[in-house]
Amino acid sequence: MGRRSTPTNPRQVRSKRCGCKACLDKYPGARPKTTNCIGSWQARYTPPGQRERAVNFSTETEAIHFLERTRTEIRERRWIDPARGEITLTAWHTLWWKSQTAQLEENTIDRDSRSWRNHVQKRFGTVRLVDITWLDVQNWVNSIWDGTGGPLAASSVTKAFQVLDRMMTAALRDRRIPFNPCDGIKLPSGRGKHPDDRRPPTTNQLALVREKLPDYLRPVQQLAEETGLRFGELAGLRWCRIDLASRRLQVREVLIEPRGHVKRKAYPKSDAGLRTVPLTDTAVQLLRELWDAEPDASRAVSEPDDGLRTEELVFHGRNAIRRGSKINGSEGERYRAPLRRSSVRRRWVDAIDKAGIARKVVKTWTEEVEDPETGRVKKEDRARTDWWPDFHDQRHTFASRLHALGVPEAITQEILGHERAGEVTWLYTHASADYAGQVLAALEGASPDQAQLRVVTVESDGVRDESGSGVGRVGVA
């Protein structure tokens, strides 16, 4: 392991093109005689746990430098086998994915699988690990962002990139590549929106939407507006978790749809999702009417491992009760179908459109697709329609309502099931502030029940109101 090579390593390889005495002895022929050998120099090394390998160089100096560097890397456990990085990204995905399925949630597995198939594999599936460069990744990220004509919003680009980044990080740790080409990639940020576009729907707008929804979805929408629950929490809400006497409900589980199959999930989005939510008079009356309308509903307590138990669910799909269904295994029994996100979304879009409050944005892009018959790649125009508001925006309305009523941010965080209160402020409360209206009221004179703006100065003996309105002290700036 010394710095100097042994007399036979590196060694010069005899060549049929050389005319020196040693090469002519090994490979006789009519070649002009030369004094110095022109054969390449072979450096031999033994990787950990493997057989001896050899690499040829044009000069002895290059071979010696290679041996010294390789021996140092092997001794310091930094050596990377170049052959292990020559597999394609698709082959590496097969090996890597087995280590992920045991650690990720089913929804995450489903989302990452789609990101891999639809975006990452299309671009890098046939490329070797060692051939993926930083510039390749950056150009790919730029190409799929809808801000540059791609199909994905900034948040979706980030999700797709994260799949590739995790794969390359794992390859780096598995000693297949010397560096991660995803390091230092600049991801797109969401394009700025006008403050009016960030505001959630008002209660009056939601009332218009409710009138256009099918009867079975109106209670779902109204409870979402009154409690701020997520869709999965509403779909998975069970009667045993509702206490109408104390006007509380507990969020303990959700319904998810990995690969199109409805399942119960024991814990919501995060530990903060396990919470108790208060019920308004409107919500209590709504739930009482639902309970009275379904005498066969069950308040039994079951666990997620016990199966769907749809008779325990508060809300059901359109064909909630079907006789003669084969789904539950026998004729003549009643079956309550759980809510499905895709079905609710279709009816929600139809309702906001009919209510006249919808804002529609159509995004178009060009995508390269392979013709299955000819194998040729051709370009096709694609389009996606984004609608406002979506069902989730009702959480924004609920949070803004709490903010307007003066509910502390920490409590709002608990009720909404967020881990960080700052997210509540950024996502929700800023959307409800009508700054223009407040300034206009101050300029033109507000009505007695409206708050007025005051000029406040700090003096050595305290705070003095200079507005002349007589409203009094409001705080220290």
Least reliable range by pLDDT among 2-16, 246-260, 431-445: 431-445
Alpha-helical segments (H) within 189-335: 195-198, 203-212, 218-227, 231-235, 281-293
Domains of the chain: 11-79 (no CATH), 89-173 (1.10.150), 200-343 (1.10.443), 439-477 (no CATH)
Instruction: Return the amino acid letter for 145.
Output: W
The answer to whether residues 213 and 348 touch, using CB atoms and an 8 Å cutoff, is yes
Least reliable range by pLDDT among 59-63, 68-72, 150-154, 380-384: 380-384
Q: What residues pair up with 6 in beta bridges, in sequence order?
A: 9
More confident: 5 or 262: 262
Least Cα distance to 286 among 345, 215, 341, 340 occurs for 215
332: left (phi over 0), alpha (psi -120 to 50) or beta: left
pTM metric for this prediction? 0.73
The answer to whether residues 8 and 20 touch, using CB atoms and an 8 Å cutoff, is no
| pLDDT at position 455 | 45
Which residues contact residue 338 at a Cβ distance below 8 angstroms, ignoring those fewer than 6 apart?
Answer: 235, 255, 262, 308, 310, 313, 316, 317
Average pLDDT over residues 161-165: 97
The answer to whether residues 100 and 109 touch, using CB atoms and an 8 Å cutoff, is yes
The pLDDT of residue 403 is above 50 = yes
Buried b (16+ CB within 10 A) or exposed e, 317-340: beebeeeebeeeeeeeeebbbbbb
Least Cα distance to 462 among 473, 448, 470 occurs for 473
| pLDDT at position 101 | 80
Average pLDDT over residues 302-317: 91
Buried b (16+ CB within 10 A) or exposed e, 20-35: beebbeeeeeeeeeee
Least Cα distance to 238 among 201, 208, 266, 207 occurs for 266
Percent of the chain with pLDDT over 90: 46
Q: What residues pair up with 55 in beta bridges, in sequence order?
A: 43
On the 0-12 / 13-18 / 19+ scale of CB atoms within 10 A, 244 is middle
Q: What is the CA radius of gyration of the chain?
A: 34
Rounded to whole angstroms, the maximal C-alpha distance in the chain is 115
Count of CA atoms in the C-beta half-sphere (13 A) of 395: 19
| pLDDT at position 258 | 87
Mean pLDDT of the chain: 83
CA–CA dist 358, 209 (Å, integer): 10
CA–CA dist 466, 458 (Å, integer): 11
Least Cα distance to 45 among 28, 66, 30, 60 occurs for 66
CA–CA dist 92, 171 (Å, integer): 8
Q: Rounded to whole angstroms, what are the CA distances from 368 to 29, 89, 150, 393?
A: 57, 20, 11, 34
pLDDT confidence band for 84 (50 / 70 / 90): confident
Structure tokens, 436: 């223009």
Q: For 330, phi and psi rounded to 5 degrees? A: -150, 155
**407-455 per-position pLDDT tens digit:** 888 888 888 888 765 555 655 555 555 556 666 666 766 554 554 444 4
Q: For 427, phi and psi rounded to 5 degrees? A: -80, -30
Average pLDDT over residues 386-405: 90
Least Cα distance to 427 among 412, 406, 408 occurs for 412
